[in-house]
Structure formats: C-alpha cells, structure tokens
Amino acid sequence: MAAAPKLAFLASDAEKAQDALKRLVARYGNAPVETASAIVALGGDGFMLESLHRYMGLKKPIFGMQRGSIGFLMNEYGEEGLRRRVAAAQSYRLRPLRMRALTLSGERLPALAINEVSLLRETRQSAKIRIEVDGITRLDELICDGILLATPAGSTAYNLSAHGPIIPLGSGVLAMTAICPFRPRRWRGALLPHSAKVRFRILEPEKRPVSAVADYTEVRDVVEVEIVEDRRVSLTLLFDPEHNLEERILKEQFGP
C-alpha cells in the first residue's frame, strides 16, 4: 500500500484562503515544501502562477484549490479525503516560455512565462512591431496596442480576452494573438508549432516605447524580444479526474 502523500499548504492573502489554510493545517499538518510529496495551493489562478514560479526549481507537483476570484487552474475546494484526492489526481506537465528581452539601454533580461509573453505599448501612440518566426520575417509591420504569445495553459487567460483561440493541451502549438490591431486590419494572429523561435522587433522604439511582460515580470522600453518554449523546465499540475484541465479547456469553447 502506497504511503499517504505528505502535503505542504500555501495560501494567498485572501481571507477565505487564510481561513482554509488554518483548517487544513490543523487537520493534515503542514510538511516543509522541500520534503512534501505535493504542494496544495489555496487561492486563485494568480496565486497558482506565483506558486509555480516560486517553487519551479523544486519540481514539486501542485494541487490547487479554489479560494480566490478566478480558478481555471484550480480544483474545487473540499476538506474531506484530501490526501486521497491528491494521490488519485491526474497530472499535467507544462512547459513555460522563455523570454529574452533587449532594452533601449542595452540590457538583456530573461524571464519565464507559464501563461503568456505580452508586448504592450507604453504611451498613447500605437506600437509598431515586426514579427519573425524561425528567422523569417512573417509580418513586416504590425501597428497595434500589442501582441502576445500564449501557451495552451495560458490560452484561456489574456489570450482569450484578446479574442485569441483556446488551445487544447497536447496540441503542440502556441497562440500568437494581436491586441487591438490597426494595420493589417484583418490580421488577428497565428497558431505556431511549440518548437518555433519567435522574435518581435520594435520599430521606432524611442517614439513608440513598448514593454514586455512574462506573466508578472515586466521589462520596459524593449527593442527586441525573443521567445522560445523552454523544454528544460517542466511544471506539474494536479487535477481531480472528474474535472481535469483538458475537460475545462474543451468546455470553455462551448460555454457562455
């Protein structure tokens, strides 16, 4: 018989997350994150992203429970039989995007994104962006508020709000979605293989400054942003079998 998983509990600052933390720790104890079998994150999607980034190096699976405002990456909250739920959960392996941004001042700054890398104009003027994929210029000039590249897990976040496609897990593609494009008028984005190497070059960067954001890491005044899927990094999310992430992504395409 397999040993019951040792659980490490984390919670956002939200009152209901902190209340849940107290009850669960009293019931199940709280193993150190370093020695736990799995991490249980209590909050919303924002806290899940924060936890994934913070403990990425430990390679611990994370089982989220909804105690925040948005919980697409979270399971339903419940206190009964939690160790059994975690032991029976389905695992999903995610690969983040690695952004390398070059700024006007010459700095080169890296960051990882689990959801998306987004480029956004900093002033009232539209951004002008050249798009290269695998060293080939695919769009010489996009005039827009911005552009983003999303993973399948992140396709239901900012990407969906920008009218980008929802991508099933395991599809092997990334979503490139324009944000309020002005020219070309009919171009909204593209689906790219996950192996693609994307480079955004900012045109007129001093006149039309642009920032780059990898999840919650922002780099201001960029002139060039390179993005690739980082196959060296693996993140594991755990979901109840009856409400797994693939089913959520499918339902999202038919829901209200």
- The residues that bridge with 128 in the sheet, in sequence order, are 143, 203
Tokens at residue 56, please? 């990425």
Widest pairwise Cα distance in the chain: 65
- The residues that bridge with 139 in the sheet, in sequence order, are 131
Mark whether 45 is an active-site residue: yes
Nearest residue to 191 via CA among 145, 233, 138, 254:
138
Whose tokens are 């045109």? That residue is: 203
For residue 77, the tally of other CB atoms under 10 A from its CB is: 15
Distance CA 51, CA 204 (A): 37
Catalytic residue from among 13, 45, 134, 230 = 45
216: three-class secondary structure by DSSP: coil
Q: Which are the contacts of 76, defined by CB distance < 8 A and separation ≥ 6?
A: 65, 66, 240, 243
Nearest residue to 234 via CA among 102, 88, 69, 55:
55
Task: Decide if 250 contacts 168 (C-beta within 8 A).
Answer: yes
Task: Decide if 244 contacts 90 (C-beta within 8 A).
Answer: yes
Structure letter (DSSP) for residue 242:
G
Hey, which residues are catalytic here?
Answer: 45
